Amino acid sequence: MDLKTIMLPGIEPARPVVIAGPCSAESEKQVLFTAHAVAARGIKIFRSGIWKPRTKPGGFEGIGTAGFAWLQQVKQETGMYVTTEVANKGHVAEALKAGIDLLWIGARTSANPFAVQEIADALQGADIPVLIKNPINPDLELWIGAIERIYGAGIRRIGVIHRGFSSYDKKTYRNPPMWHIPIELRRRIPNLVMFCDPSHIAGNRDRISVLSQQAMDLQFDGLMIETHYQPDSAWSDATQQLTPEMLASLLEQLVIRSADKPSQSLLELRYRIDQIDENLLEFLARRMQLSDELGKYKKAHGMPILQTTRYNELIEQRAEYGETIDLDPDFVQEIMKAIHEESIRRQMSAMD
Ligand code: PEP
Ligand code: MN
């Protein structure tokens, strides 16, 4: 893809490029107080939702176009660029008319190809950077599809925002990060500008700084962090918004490690990891050869391939053993399930 930088004039591409501002625009006072406070801390791009996708009806669904006047005031008074979420063609038309500098497509929208195509069609001929959040479901192809649709509309300044993926289990995260997905996206489209939105991953204030550091260590270009001058009384996402002071101290504490000159010890660690990965693969290949033999044996003795008790025992024993050598039992179970699945496939083809 022939992508261009999304960085607007005057914005240093130095990591992290920060987008901050409230989940939603609520009132002129809330928008302007927050904007002045983040601008005073060096933020150059201000976010604010004008239309809010809510899981259930009855919540605050956004202030609507009335909020654009406040965002225009933010631009005039602070010099920051402003960005908002668009979810349909009407939003695109309104946002372009209101002079919004950057658009973002939300996670519920990028999960829907019809909606993304409608937005892409409405963007034909426009020259505006667009940031595409990952779809709520962990589907990299769907995310790439959304990028391709926007690209197909002639937009070249495209970036993405990783905001985690919906999950039934919300114990640790509101939306677990599943870092391997954005990492794979970077491998597939290397010149894509990548933001991380730790606010929607975390769902609460506590984990945002740890997630931001992880995003920096994974070479993300920027962060989008929900910030509100009075987070506790926010009309949406109150538990996860930071105050401008908290945002400033988070940014101060971030350690930005450069990937340009990996040190000798890093190279050594990587080398050792590469070696171990090779050994792991060789062991797996040997295990699969045994599966082939097992398939042939079962065929010769008229035995079925799957024996559920053996499968359950195997998964449990391995998880228990893993724990004794400091491996997370859930992790071991996941690996064993994948190995077992492949083993069944091999046994079946050995039987044929
Ligand atoms: C938001 O940014 O406030 C938002 C609704 O995010 P997401 O689309 O990631 O849920
Ligand atoms: Mn939000």
Nearest to 106 by CA among 240, 243, 200: 200
Which residue minimizes the CA distance to atom 3 of ligand 1?
A: 23
Ligand nearest to the CA of 164: 1
> Are β-strands 193-196 and 130-133 bridged in parallel, bridged antiparallel, or unpaired?
unpaired
What is the rounded end-to-end Cα distance, in angstroms, of the chain? 43
Residues 143, 138: Cα–Cα separation, whole Å: 9
Confidence (pLDDT) at 257: 85
The answer to whether the bond into 16 is cis (omega within 30° of 0) is yes
Tokens of 251: 């940014």
Q: Which ligand is nearest to the CA of 133?
A: 1
Q: In the block, which residue shows the tokens 């654009």?
A: 68
Cα–Cα distance for residue pair 243/30, rounded to 1 Å? 12
Which residues contact ligand 1 via a Cβ below 6 A?
23, 49, 53, 106-108, 133, 163, 200
Which two structure tokens, joined as six digits, stand for 179? 């870092």
Residue 237 Cα: closest atom of ligand 1: 3
Output the six-digit token pair for 225: 């962090």
How far away, in angstroms, is 128 Cα from ligand 1 center? 20
Distance from residue 123's CA to the centre of ligand 2 (Å): 24
Contact 158, 3 (CB under 8 A): yes
Q: What is the DSSP string of 40-88?
A: TTT--EEE-BSS---SSTTS----GGGGHHHHHHHHHHH--EEEEEE-S
Residue nearest to atom 8 of ligand 1 (CA): 106
Residues of the chain with pLDDT under 50: none
For ligand 1, mutation pick of 54, 102, 166, 200 (most atoms within 8 Å of CB): 200
Full set of structural domains in the chain with CATH: 17-253 (3.20.20.70), 264-351 (1.20.59.10)
Beta strands 45-47 and 81-86: pairing type?
Answer: parallel
Looking from the CA of residue 49, the nearest atom of ligand 1 is 3
At 300 the pLDDT is 92
200 Cα–ligand 1 center, Å? 7
Q: How far is the CA of 197 from the centre of ligand 2 (A)?
A: 10
* CA 165–ligand 1 middle distance (angstroms): 11
Measure CA 73 to chain center: 30
**Going by CA atoms, what residue is nearest to atom 1 of ligand 1?**
23
DSSP 155-187: ---EEEEE-----S--SS-SS---THHHHHHHH
The residue whose CA has the least distance to atom 6 of ligand 1 is: 106
